[in-house]
Structure 1
């Protein structure tokens, strides 16, 4: 026995030693790429020395003698802090992920090759104006200078991920930056997926019920759509899903995760400060590190500071001394799916208004790690690229003998969006910024502006102009060979929605409908918000004048207008009713839950139990209302639409019929379904979080998931690279924390404001900003998550353009010198 024990002890000791040795080895190799922000480097491509001063939050303040040198240094800083993220963005848009990840990412590469966003970016380089071309060239040279330093200075391959996924890094090119802007457009575009979901749903329910489950904005008046089955023949009414499982690396998102944001501004008449105010918080999927990177640039046209995206040398949301700008997703209907008939006698042809025509096609070879290379035949029609059936589930609504193609404003080889964004960043006034934005193509955005005297909002980006006779008004996939379905032109830029110096002194957007125009001048039928706008309007109008602090308060507001509006309907016949019930019985738990909700003000606070009870109830209610009518398709409706629920409980146009279970003999009422849904929710809560309702915490369910896209699922490593935080807010609060809606943790916060900024032009240096994680992409760096806790608590860091303040508490200064100076 003693001998066995001795050997077990030796084995255990050896395992511990091996584990410690492996940990030390991993730390050693990973730490080789940790940065020392103090240092002097001789680099080729500079005209004069440049200082990159990292302030105490590791935000680089870049001081140079020329714009070219400043953008060179920005490329250098981006590559220092976020090299892996930059290379992953580039690989994604190039369709080259499978070289690292094997067959897992082949569907992503297949789609990106078919869209050819990178090829279009290469073509678009020649379309840029001279200053932008110089900027992109200088930025690329800066990135490549750091790559040279990695190769020559034993910098641990530049990032710890490079040890796991070892692959050569090609020099950065101007086209790479343009391609990343196009990739952002893909991430922010959800109209195509919405078309497919509407088509699939219309195959199951009547047009009247379609208006319930996929409602238009309640303030609009839209004509009824034709049934999809009548529009496109031979489509199965219960088509199974064709898409594969979702992947964290995929840039294609469902409509409700495709993009969101808040931005608002107050003019002098509504500001207590004597000048204008602007708040901006763009929303994207949460990752570690966040997609945003803070930077300050000393430009000849004036210094700018704000949020950039690594790989893209433009401050997308920020301020100069005289102008502030924020962006929100425009929700422009800039995508259309076309059903293309394939010639039954020649599969290389498709039908056009003028007869059969050849697909434009070419082959593309995708290299796949640990598997054979895959040769794709890429095909385009006059309308756009032909899509695989799994993308957007388009295969479920494509009849035999047909394929689907995509028209999208971003599919241009003369895209001048980068030049327009550069022009906006250099502008000094609202008028200059709006004029510069005319060349902006995609992604469509609402640009909120404030200079020292005025405020404005302008929708920027191309808006397709459709024929008034379009079969589906662009809301459903339609036949591509019918001329009335094809895009005729783009709306003139002057006709894009515009709000200059509004009379009320306040302008803003929460992804709500901005204009109510009849088709075909409608901008969009689908908008990203019908709820947050109500709370925003109340907060803006509840006081005559605003301050920086009141804008921060609104940006961090967690009261759900939706909860306040829906709970009185959901519990109308349930509040304080029913017989006395003993402790531990379902009836007693229901009474406790209803009592808690009856006294709740709708604040989605992470420390309260009521938000979790309400969210679980609403989710269960959506399932009860739709499961019998939609069957398996109900799984696609992962979050309850408040307008749908309100229509049902107010019986708008007979919508209460959703409460009756059509397969059952009794006629269920909405009260029955609401009570059953509450019981469903309480059972689920009890199984997941415990039966003591008073001790529940919303934050335990609503954790922000800043997960590393590539290492976040690796055992042990995930503890170091993923950042999880208990958070307040929800799907419909101004401090928005969009939930997954599916899986064992349906209330995880996966889509939120990765950047927040508030700018006060009475005292510009009192402006503040923050991002959701930190500046560094290196998980061993103290700056990997140093801003994350501030972000979670609703705190900010200063946004100052004072060079002395930047240098006073600097972490270090990186000096770049031309090689000739050495």
Structure 2
């Protein structure tokens, strides 16, 4: 009997069955689908050791919950730990007065404004980034610590054996090259900046271990010192990358419904290059996708669902379209509604530096923002930077793969994972071919699957390339400096004081000549090998377009179309941009609802629903019951179209179909039997009937806001007391996944920025829930109500404006 293995296959090969069963907690099950029913699929279900089981038995309340890209289990009561009381709660970090810090050369001033944004003024670059690290750790140390453990694959150390496989897969996608080339890719001073930043973080860590913050007391571990190399992690870049998951789904679709229909459902992202037929696409298992989803996630929380819906909007207008006399830039990245936010606002000033904007709390510099000369924002790009390669194994040696007629050794790296509750670390193997990490084996066919992605190259740590952008002296320099930004792939929009605007894709994209990259390629022949990288100068971009505007929104047809429609109108100012960022007009509805004008239903409730939609204003407002009906109808249309593929693919396809508008506007026999238009019209009615039935069954024929709210979830918001102390919300949700104000699947625009290039002090921002992660801080949730009401606050830049809004001043002096 053949075995198809994924995940921790290397370790389990080397152990006899009796040992495997005890240490790995193996479960054997049959998978469904064509041919794969002949396999035994080995899934690792890690169980606790005896000592851990007894520990958990003594705990009264355990909960699992998402934290960014992870699942964390924390014990909130029992186990000898009670929630922190108001009398023994640790003190908040010092934010006013004078503080002596070892490691500084000269005094540094930190002014926090009314909204908790720190404005740091230093006399040298080293001191500037030392204090940035210190200040961000003051506000977000627990978040930073948890991020580092998560992306490094070290959650099992503090959370136990359930995280072993997740940690091992996360470690497989990390950078394995030379650090000198890595640091040089970000710029000549990137390593020095990172080192100063980390020294500042460690200055705060040394304070925190003496007076442990509340979050660490509840979590049950202590913060550790950082290294500059911690900033070079690849997990965030991997989670933002695209390509390999689509290859798995497309291969399965082609096997099920043929190439033509598969391309219509999941359009390929590259020019068509004929496949050589070397790979049996029917052998590609859905478990490859499941394995890749373990990077940054937990091994036991899996389904065929795709990633959490995410995206972003960014646009800029030229002075000719602006009422301010200069360009305007707007951006609203869509991330999970987490508390703390995944962004942190900061202003950095030192000789050669004057930049303000949003960064990841664990990184130096600013990723979205402006300096004295240029402003920029970005939208995530789905450009393909990953490929799967099928490797032929040597039947006589499972550690060799075929390469152009001969067999070559696989690189094997042995590593240990420390596991809480176990006396000995868990040992496992990572295997690599020239194409990348092996993530799956097919023993029956003597095949292995290798994952290659751009993140294995130097200079691809997520957002570290922003250090070069922060000092751009204008739009021309900004475009050139984008060569330092390689991951995550992003479409930048920018505008300068010189009046120029532009848009540019920034990414490290492989050059493919022998294959399309749309389906897995044969690793043994060399035809699919990457031939290098597409030069940055060849990537798409525009400079001063004739229309006077640029838009980036993940190539999302509905959002791009709606934003473009509004930018083409009268001249705009900052307040107009605020309204546009909160626009909830359903562009999809404007295309689809007119199709209902030519049809009728003999069923009274369906006909009544049709008439309601025809009269609706197409806005996804919290008070609208028609919005609830429309979104249910659109979702039912997607579900019914997905039924055209076999059952095992339907649920995953539903999560990947970005839009069915074009399929419905121009029906074809590829999707509709018989007469395409009449078949399409029947589908419209059937979907409306299904939507109404579904809503009535759930008693959900209510206003959109009664069904959809937003709560900013904190990693410690476990149980009723944890929820009350750490979570922020709920707030009514407006919009859905396809409106400019995109709220879907627990993600959306928690940060919005608008930069007025003609007067930086007129720039505004809104972010939720607050700058601090501590519930005891006045800046824990002070921005949430502003954000929920659509209210922005000034993002001050000049010294005069800063002093007008100064809340506290901390002077840091060297020891």
Are residues 1:329 and 2:380 paired?
Answer: yes
Q: CA deviation at 1:639?
A: 4.2
1:561 is aligned, of 572, 580, 587, to 587
Are residues 1:175 and 2:229 paired?
Answer: yes
Match of 1:516 in 2: none
Match of 1:14 in 2: none
| 8 Å Cα contact 1:121-1:176 kept in structure 2 | no
2:609 is aligned, of 579, 593, 603, to 593
Secondary structure (helix, strand or coil) at the match of 1:78 reads helix
Q: CA deviation at 1:725?
A: 2.2
Q: CA deviation at 1:254?
A: 7.2
Deviates more, 1:113-122 or 1:295-304: 113-122
1:355 is aligned, of 387, 406, 425, to 406
Match of 1:583 in 2: none
Q: Deviations over 1:326-365 (max 9, x none)?
A: 1111222111111111111110111123621111111111
Change (3 A) 1:645 1:401: farther
| 8 Å Cα contact 1:302-1:321 kept in structure 2 | no
Deviates more, 1:501-510 or 1:249-258: 249-258
1:502 is aligned, of 524, 537, 545, to 545
1:111 is aligned, of 142, 166, 169, to 169
Match of 1:392 in 2: none
| 8 Å Cα contact 2:762-2:796 kept in structure 1 | yes
| 8 Å Cα contact 2:185-2:484 kept in structure 1 | no
Match of 2:103 in 1: 45
Q: CA–CA distance in 2 between the matches of 1:238 and 1:546?
A: 51
Change (3 A) 1:677 1:640: farther
Q: CA–CA distance in 2 between the matches of 1:566 and 1:199?
A: 30
| 8 Å Cα contact 1:118-1:175 kept in structure 2 | no
1:697 is aligned, of 677, 689, 703, to 703
1:433 is aligned, of 451, 458, 478, to 478
Q: CA–CA distance in 1 between the matches of 2:709 and 2:782?
A: 18
Match of 2:758 in 1: 762
Deviates more, 1:65-74 or 1:32-41: 32-41
Q: Deviations over 1:102-135 (max 9, x none)?
A: 2332232111111124887797346554422221
Secondary structure (helix, strand or coil) at the match of 2:365 reads strand
Secondary structure (helix, strand or coil) at the match of 1:448 reads strand
2:415 is aligned, of 364, 371, 374, to 364
1:736 is aligned, of 742, 765, 768, to 742
Change (3 A) 1:799 1:234: closer
Are residues 1:533 and 2:560 paired?
Answer: yes
Q: CA deviation at 1:439?
A: 2.7
Are residues 1:684 and 2:694 paired?
Answer: yes
**How do 1:32-71 and structure 2 match up within 5 A?**
32-71=90-129
Secondary structure (helix, strand or coil) at the match of 2:103 reads coil
Change (3 A) 1:548 1:673: same
TM-score, length-scaled by structure 2: 0.83
Match of 2:673 in 1: 657
Secondary structure (helix, strand or coil) at the match of 2:550 reads strand
Deviates more, 1:533-542 or 1:440-449: 440-449
| 8 Å Cα contact 2:454-2:460 kept in structure 1 | no
Change (3 A) 1:769 1:761: same
Q: CA deviation at 1:680?
A: 2.5
| 8 Å Cα contact 2:155-2:163 kept in structure 1 | yes
Are residues 1:814 and 2:798 paired?
Answer: no
Change (3 A) 1:572 1:629: farther
Q: Deviations over 1:156-176 (max 9, x none)?
A: x23x23113333432122112
| 8 Å Cα contact 2:311-2:553 kept in structure 1 | yes
| 8 Å Cα contact 2:167-2:295 kept in structure 1 | no
* Structure 1 segments unaligned to the other structure (5+ residues): 1-18, 390-394, 513-528, 579-586, 661-666, 741-749
Q: CA deviation at 1:735?
A: 1.3
| 8 Å Cα contact 1:125-1:175 kept in structure 2 | no
Aligned-pair Cα RMSD in Å:
3.2
Change (3 A) 1:108 1:754: farther
Larger helix share, 1 or 2: 1
Q: CA–CA distance in 2 between the matches of 1:455 and 1:671?
A: 44
| 8 Å Cα contact 1:178-1:312 kept in structure 2 | no
The size of the alignment, in residue pairs, is 732
Are residues 1:707 and 2:723 paired?
Answer: no
Change (3 A) 1:503 1:806: same
Q: Deviations over 1:491-527 (max 9, x none)?
A: 1121111211222221121112xxxxxxxxxxxxxxx
Match of 1:12 in 2: none
Secondary structure (helix, strand or coil) at the match of 2:439 reads coil
Deviates more, 1:784-793 or 1:247-256: 247-256
Q: Deviations over 1:207-233 (max 9, x none)?
A: 23213322468xx9x548759xx5522
| 8 Å Cα contact 1:704-1:727 kept in structure 2 | yes
Q: CA deviation at 1:325?
A: 1.0
Q: CA–CA distance in 2 between the matches of 1:120 and 1:108?
A: 25
Match of 2:657 in 1: 641
Are residues 1:751 and 2:747 paired?
Answer: yes
Q: CA–CA distance in 2 between the matches of 1:808 and 1:313?
A: 27
TM-score, length-scaled by structure 1: 0.83
Q: CA–CA distance in 1 between the matches of 2:366 and 2:597?
A: 49
1:214 is aligned, of 266, 269, 278, to 266
Secondary structure (helix, strand or coil) at the match of 2:241 reads coil
Secondary structure (helix, strand or coil) at the match of 1:274 reads coil
Match of 1:526 in 2: none
